[in-house]
Chain A
Amino acid sequence: MVFITVVGFRRPFLFLCAYIYVDIVSPQRLSYYLLSSIPVSLIFFAASFIGWAINDDKTLSKPSPRQILLILLLLLCGFTTLTAAHPDAALEKWDWVWKAMVFAIFMPMALYTRVRIEGILLFMLLCVSSIAVVGGAKTLAGGGGYGTLNLMVANNSGMYESSTISAFAICSIPLILYMSKYSTIVPPSIFARLYWYALAFACLLIPIGTQTRTGLLCIVLMAFLELRAAKRRMLYLGIMAAIVVAGIPFLPKSYTERMDTINSYKADASAATRIAVWKWTIDYASQNPLGGGFNAYIGNKLEIDMSYKTADGTLVKVIGYDVGRSFHNAYFEMLGEQGYLGLLLFLAVHLIGIFRMEVVRRTYAKHEGDNAWVAPLAGALQNAHLIYMLGCSFVGIAFQPFIYFIVAVEIGFDRYVQTYVKKRAWNPFRKRKRDVEVERDEEVEPPLETADPAPSMAERRRTQPRWGTVTGK
């Protein structure tokens, strides 16, 4: 971090990378007292903005529609914080949410070259790797369990929370696979590829180590999405089937037992509580259409139906009671905290991102040569986003900075493609420059002929030498 701070004065873009590092790895939580007492995140946030203002090209910094939506969402969050049902709890969350959102609004303006886009993605992936490699190695060594896998930090919160890191670790895999093939900063060599594949494997182990059902669902979706991108689909299917068949016997029993509860969710206390919270949120939003501000869930009082049928068909009625349970779903989190308008903005930001990446992916799918990387990156970002959209159905990660980094990269990448790559896309209605010039010449030539008639013999005699050459020399 000190190293990046020093070199940041030479290349201010590195301050942006340092902010991402601080946000994902949270070195202040890993280290001892000194660092934890300094507002590192705020310092790098300010440094990256000042660096951009002083050094960077600002010709491409016009706000895109998604940045405007993010600004609206930020304003709405500010408003709901002021009118929050639980002001203290709301302010606590607002403290880090505003930074994540302002950074997501700002970051696309700094991502105007391919190297910058790749650099940010590399930093994001390597920061995730600092958590994923620990988790993967400990899972392989036999440690793990829901909420018990020690990921260096004792408290189960932020990126270090089991379900959150599971979702984001799987979310990173498409980007890791992209980097293994197309990175220009770390060119694909045998060592680079080995590392990227090992990291992807470590990310796959995270949901197993943390025993989260969210992670398993994300893995299934990721496998399905990668099938779309695979060139040899039958080979891919064969490898996947082989991994599943060979891997299941090695899975710990506690993991398979926990995954079985996906089918019997009604009898599972965790799943039943989530359904009860979601029902409460719908009622709450109908009474408070503008939401109850951050952490509005504190006010819920739940009656949880955990009835189940025994083997002989007898219905056992079990009712549980709970208070202040969190949303466990980003969509309901937005609905409960920011109301219908917040949910609408949230969906717009994410769905437009996914749609735009699909447009870019399809447009440049058959491009080769210099632009061969465009479609795979669009596909990888889209897959990561889709995995997040599934993962966030089971975890309240609507405001996690990592997904806003991906949104920001998507906006920057989309703008990059429109600026530097679009010119070369096939367009049947495009007029070539040379055709335009020919047309212009045809239009201009006739008046020239009338304006400059052939000189008479007398004029020639006056202007040209009597015994000269044809060229007049």
Chain B
Amino acid sequence: MIDTLSLLLAHFLLGFVAIRLLLHPDLNVEPIQSGRHFKQVLPKKQQPAKRAGVETGEARPGSTRA
């Protein structure tokens, strides 16, 4: 009686662990746990076009021509 029940319990648990292993996603490949968290990268915000000379203060090409 004790023998049978203990064997049944052990085999039930062995089966349970076997199923858990069978279904485990990380059994064959170790998941990469770098510990770093990356912020989401979004498309860069488009800057409005600036006109040379008027908004930037840069001399227009040819402005120094006599």
Contacts of B7 in A (CB 8 A): 30, 130, 134, 152
Question: CB-CB contacts of A129-170 with B at 8 A, as 1s and 0s?
Answer: 110011001100100000000001000000000000000000
* Identity of the chain A residue whose Cβ is nearest the Cβ of B55 in the assembled complex: A470
A138 interface neighbour in B2, B22, B27, B29, Cβ under 8 Å: B2
Chain A residues with CB below 8 A from B14, complex form: 4, 21, 123, 126-127
Decide: A3 near B10, CB < 8 A? Known: A137-B2, A470-B58. no
B40 contacts the other chain (CB 8 A): no
The verdict on A236 contacting chain B, using a C-beta distance below 8 Å, is: no
Contacts A123-B17, A152-B3; A55 near B24 (Cβ below 8 A): no
Q: Mark B24-40, 1 if CB is under 8 A from A, else 0.
A: 10111110010100000
Interface residues of A in 1-27 (CB under 8 A from B): 3-4, 7, 10-11, 13-14, 17, 21, 25
Complex CA gap A369/B50 in Å reads 50
Question: Are A115 and B24 in contact, CB atoms less than 8 angstroms apart?
Answer: yes
Contact status A460-B61, CB under 8 Å: yes
In the complex, which residues of chain B have a beta carbon less than 8 angstroms from the beta carbon of A473?
A: 49
> Smallest distance from the beta carbon of B15 to chain A beta carbons, Å?
6
Chain B: minimal CB distance from A20 (Å):
10
Measured between alpha carbons, how far is A11 from B27 in the docked complex, in Å?
9
Contact with B along A387-419 (1 / 0, CB 8 A): 000000000000000000000000000001000
- How far, in whole Å, are A195 and B2 apart by their CA atoms in the complex? 17
Q: Report whether B22 and A370 are in contact in the complex, using a CB–CB cutoff of 8 Å.
A: no
Q: Which residue of B lies closest to A21 (CB)?
A: B14
Complex: chain A residue closest to B10, CB-CB: A130
A127-B14, A138-B2 known; A7 vs B22 contact (CB < 8 Å):
yes
Choose the segment among A87-95, A252-260, A461-469 that binds chain B (4+ C-beta atoms closer than 8 Å).
A461-469
- Inter-subunit contact B15/A119 (CB<8 Å): no
B22 near A14 with CB under 8 A, answer: yes
Known: A133-B6, A461-B61, A471-B47. A55 touches B28 (CB 8 A): yes
B42 close to A (CB within 8 Å): no
Tell me the complex Cα distance, A127–B15, Å.
11
Chain A residues closer than 8 Å to B16, beta-carbon distance: 186
Contact of A470 among B20, B22, B29, B50 (CB under 8 A): B50
| Per-position 1/0 for A101-136, Cβ under 8 A of B | 000000000001111100100110011011001100
A305 within 8 A of B: no
CB-CB under 8 A from B52, the residues of chain A are 467-470
Judging by beta carbons under 8 Å apart, are B35 and A116 in contact? no
A114 / chain B contacts, CB cutoff of 8 Å: 26, 30
B45 within 8 A of A: no
What is the size category of the interface that chain B forms with chain A?
35 or more
**Contact flags (1/0) for A174-187 with B, using CB distance below 8 Å?**
00000000000110
Check: B9 CB closer than 8 A to any chain A CB: yes
Cβ of A268 < 8 Å from any Cβ of B? Answer: no
CB distance from A462 to the nearest CB of B (A): 11
A283, CB-defined interface residue at 8 Å: no
- Most A-side CB within 10 Å, residue of B3, B14, B26, B27: B14
Please give, as numbers and ranges, the residues of chain A lying within 8 Å of B26 by CB-CB distance. 113-115
Asked if A265 is at the interface (CB within 8 A of a chain B CB), the reply is no
Complex Cα distance, B3 from A370, in Å, reads 40
- Decide: A56 near B28, CB < 8 A? Known: A119-B21, A424-B35, A466-B61: yes
Determine which residue in B17, B22, B56 has the highest number of CB atoms from chain A within 10 A of its CB, and name it: B17
Across the interface, which residues of A come within 8 angstroms of B10, CB to CB? Answer: 25, 126-127, 129-130, 133
Which B residues are CB-close (under 8 A) to A152?
3, 7
Does A322 belong to the interface (CB within 8 Å)? Answer: no
A interface residues (Cβ-Cβ under 8 A, vs B): 3-4, 7, 10-11, 13-14, 17, 21, 25, 30, 55-57, 112-116, 119, 122-123, 126-127, 129-130, 133-134, 137-138, 141, 152, 185-186, 195, 369-370, 416, 420, 424, 457, 460-461, 466-471, 473
What are some 24 contacts across the A-B interface (CB < 8 A)? A4-B18, A10-B22, A13-B27, A25-B10, A57-B28, A113-B30, A115-B26, A115-B27, A116-B27, A119-B17, A119-B27, A133-B6, A134-B2, A137-B6, A141-B2, A152-B3, A185-B21, A185-B24, A370-B33, A457-B61, A469-B51, A469-B52, A470-B56, A471-B50
Q: What 5 A-B pairs come out closest when comparing CB atoms?
A: A130-B10, A133-B6, A134-B6, A113-B30, A469-B49
Residue ranges of B at the interface with A (Cβ–Cβ < 8 Å): 2-3, 6-7, 9-11, 13-22, 24, 26-30, 33, 35, 47, 49-52, 56, 58, 60-62
